[in-house]
A = this chain, B = another copy of it.
Amino acid sequence: MGTRNPETMLARVEADAMGAPPFAAWAEQHPAIKVTSFADAAVGAELVVNATNGGASLDVLHQAAAENLDGKIILDIANPLDFSNGMPPTLFVKDTDSLGEQIQRAFPGARVVKTLNTMNADLMARPGQLSDPGSVFVSGNDAEAKAVVAGLLEDFGHRDVIDLGDITTARGTEMLLPVWLRLWGALGTPAFNFKIVR
């Protein structure tokens, strides 16, 4: 697991902004997972998960370094949320471009697959918490990379993986965020998902 400054992160003792315990507590419970720099995490990775703040994603991936990403799948779950104008956040890229495309353009040697960005983090790897796990979308230019990611998603318990097409279709899933945020408000819980009924 890569982070900007492993020492600082592990030294934190206070709860985060959402009230979660400091990261060091989690790290202690998961000693097999090394906490290191972005570049060090990427160099040894078979597959890279971009689970960063959307506004920081490009900077973080540059810290991971293009040569450490070449040929690798980047499973991109980030959303281009802009909190600078308060709540609810707006999107800093949308409609004619997407964060997924920005990452693919910045790292042409990587194989970006946008997925999981349409649900709460807690549901991404444990969708079985819901009465029905709902649907999950994949967007990317590389069919083999999407097949690898679909396999992971199915391992997590996802039962309806919808391949939307190339990475430009990430525009669609990133633009789901505004209604996701409003649904969170209306339902009073982030424990919900989109299911495509046919």
Contact = CB atoms under 8 A, between A and B. Distances in A.
A171 B163 contact: no
Nearest to A91: B95
A107 interface: no
Contacts of A172: 178-183
Given A95-B90, A179-B172, A179-B176, A196 B192 contact: yes
Main SS of the interface on chain A? mixed
B197 A130 contact: yes
**Interface range on chain A (Cβ under 8 Å from partner):** 35 or more
A196 B183 CA distance: 9
17 contacts: A91-B95, A94-B94, A95-B178, A134-B197, A137-B179, A162-B186, A162-B187, A164-B182, A172-B179, A172-B182, A175-B175, A176-B179, A191-B198, A194-B194, A194-B195, A194-B197, A195-B197
